[in-house]
Structure 1
């Protein structure tokens, strides 16, 4: 047997597989059996197939499936973190309204992408100022939470569908693409600016002498101006996905040292909790800020940066 025989592909690498098959035939023993596992790398993360397979294509499919399921879970967790939050920058009076603002349009885009019928909503007024909405989508019925307006009730129903879809692997990944294209996680396109902070105070006034009227309540409108101590961080800088970059730019603008991050992986507290959880802190302008826990190191640092931004604001 010629050990220097090269592969038929002309790559110059010895065809060891062919040599092994030839040896098995000459030795009258069963042909070799190959088992494959696969590791796929995506965005700095490694996903390894759990099972072994008789051909590499099946191993690649299994690793890809694992990656998609993991990504869908991360997207759902991050959307819960961001979607249920309500951020307020004290000095510039900016509000991030991600909760339900674009859920209907996102769900419509998802339905079109998946070639599903556009969802239909049934909204009922349950009290004087409360509405509740349900919708049928892909053969299932979803019920939203109570809201003060019909539009908000429909958005909340759409959000229930979205949160349900995010828990699945394939559809959840498609939906995450729509989220990213809507810039919900990467910019603050849904920030509404309130020009001035308004505080209302109520004062009781007595009746005028000789009047048939009783006392009344007068409402006084007071404008609360933002603090002039430091320029607020720009409103486009509130989303977690680019908070580090924004804080860096703000430090340069204010001639402050660039913030340094310390990120640690938390130990699981239970036998069930096996996913990695990170928490990050940073030192900025002489103060230490700690962000919320996150499933990824990068996101943990972004959340720490956001804490600093909210404080500066």
Structure 2
């Protein structure tokens, strides 16, 4: 009751708990800290939603703004549990809400968020929000005809594609179904596995001084295969790693208007590199330094974990 969570927002929050709890506990495991339980995370989230909502100007708790409030609360809790500052990760869509691009907020934005916006060079918007969203249906209609995709009854397929292009393309290509079935099989395997399964050797790929190696990790006495230290043949670009700050799906673009970066592109600090879609929002990943992209280490649509290498910049 205190945080004022509506039903849809509550359901989405519960769905997000599993992966984010895993991310937090991975961090704690590396530092020998006590694990967090799902109940503890849930209570922290309730308290953080109650903290966040007034400070982002009391946006109406309906889609998508309720999701933005919940996502901010989730990202704040994750950051603070990992020793980082609150408000460190704010997706572009959420910034649009905070800056007034989706309409005037009922309340006042907290001074620390106003200061953060100004520090990052973000501009507040007081005009007509519709001006920020020009009609793109003709463009998507043309793309659907080129792909020989049906527009649907009352153009409902067209509207779906225009609203969620990356997800719609994953659905039409069959990748969404493949990912779903793979997740089902993974969960079945987890339910049916024997306690002895965890003791079986596992094969990992690690990098040492820029060179990739395949390593077998085993528990107890076991004969390692002869090729346990065989080099992985996949070429690896040289340079500094661009690390995923959170778990989610990797995308180079979030709509058809954007041009994806590619190997060989020169980038400057602050340039947009890619996105991680998590909790229904696209989180922009930007370059922390100047250089040239030497490798893109994930495929659009892939699920990446926190601290995975997304790209290399040399």
Give the TM-score normalised by the residue count of structure 2: 0.27
Relative to its length, the structure with more strand (as a share) is 1
Relative to its length, the structure with more helix (as a share) is 2
Give the TM-score normalised by the residue count of structure 1: 0.27
Which of structures 1 and 2 has the bigger CA Rg?
1
